[in-house]
Amino acid sequence: MVVVTAVHVVVMPEHVEAFVAATLDNHRNSVQEPGNLRFDVLRSASQPDRFLLHEVYETQEAADAHKRTAHYLRWREAVAGMMAEPRVGVPYTVLAPLDPADW
């Protein structure tokens, strides 16, 4: 079963550029993980300190493995002090498209 998580992040304004750099590094490595189908990094057009990480993995095992990678652990440590509030991961269920080839 495909695992989709939307991670909502609010960053302190003085840390936005460092957050972007650390998050893009995490993105570049995450999309190379076995079982990763998508790892989108989105920034609010109206509130530049707000971000959405859209993560899609083939299985729960692949999603769990992501949280044990060196790049994720590096990102988590790097951005911990940059958050204006705790990040929130919201799990979703895919209704359509059901075939990852259509993404």
Which domain CATH number covers 72? 3.30.70.100
Q: Hey, what long-range contacts does 46-52 have (CB within 8 A, 24 or more apart)?
A: 48/16, 49/10, 49/11, 49/12, 49/13, 49/16, 49/84, 50/8, 50/9, 50/10, 50/11, 51/8, 51/9, 51/10, 51/11, 51/19, 51/23, 52/6, 52/7, 52/8, 52/9
10 assigned to some structural domain: yes
Q: What is the pLDDT of residue 80?
A: 96
The answer to whether residue 66 sits within a structural domain is yes
Number of folded domains that form the chain: 1
pLDDT of residue 21: 98
Prediction pTM value: 0.92
- 10-residue mean pLDDT profile of the chain (103 residues): values are 95 98 98 96 98 96 98 98 97 84 70
Domain residues for the domain of 83 are: 3-92
Q: Confirm whether 55 is domain-assigned.
A: yes
Question: Is residue 99 in a domain?
Answer: no
In a domain, 32, yes or no: yes
Q: How high is the pLDDT of residue 38?
A: 94
> Is 29 within the bounds of a domain?
yes
Which pLDDT score is estimated for 102? 72
Supply the pLDDT for residue 103: 67
Nearest CA among 61, 50, 63 for reference residue 91: 63
Contact 35, 62 (CB under 8 A): yes
